[in-house]
Amino acid sequence: MNLKDVQRLLQAEVLTGEELLDRIEIEMVCGSDLISDVLAFTKEKTLLLTGLTNPQIIRTAEMIELSGIVFVRGKKPGDDVIKLAEEHHFPLLLTKFPLYETCGILYSAGLKGCSELDTVGRG
């Protein structure tokens, strides 16, 4: 599934990276509102679902090479966050669905969470 498919499923607004949506394949998803959990439990090429809208979430995503971020609950990041994502050619989407429903929609569509793809070495 690619980010364009995710956008359709979540009825999401594209904030940045429209040109990347068809090219970025999503295999796994992580939903979290804690940066410490994002660092501990996500892998590269993961799509992050979050309500965190501060610049640190973009820096974290870049550092661990996430595929993109979907902001949930209709929480739109500030212009500084959007600009930072644009500078790094990093896709951002925005959905009105809460985190729980967003995870459920993507899980029902066949996407798995990080823990389901690789549980070795996870504590």
Given a contact cutoff of 8 angstroms between Cβ atoms, the answer to whether 102 and 31 are in contact is: yes
Of 76, 86, 40, nearest to 60 by C-alpha is: 40
| Torsion angle (degrees, nearest 10) of CA 48, 51, 55, 61 | -10
pTM over 0.95: no
Between vectors from CA 114 to CA 111 and to CA 118, what angle results, nearest 5°?
A: 115
pLDDT tens-digit readout, 1-58: 999 999 999 999 999 999 999 999 998 999 999 999 998 888 888 999 999 999 999 9
Q: How many CA atoms lie within 13 A of 118 on its CB side?
A: 12
Structural domains of the chain ordered from first start:
3-112 (3.40.1390.20)
- 116: confidence class by pLDDT, cuts 50, 70, 90: low
Per the CB < 8 A criterion, the answer to whether 68 and 94 are in contact is no
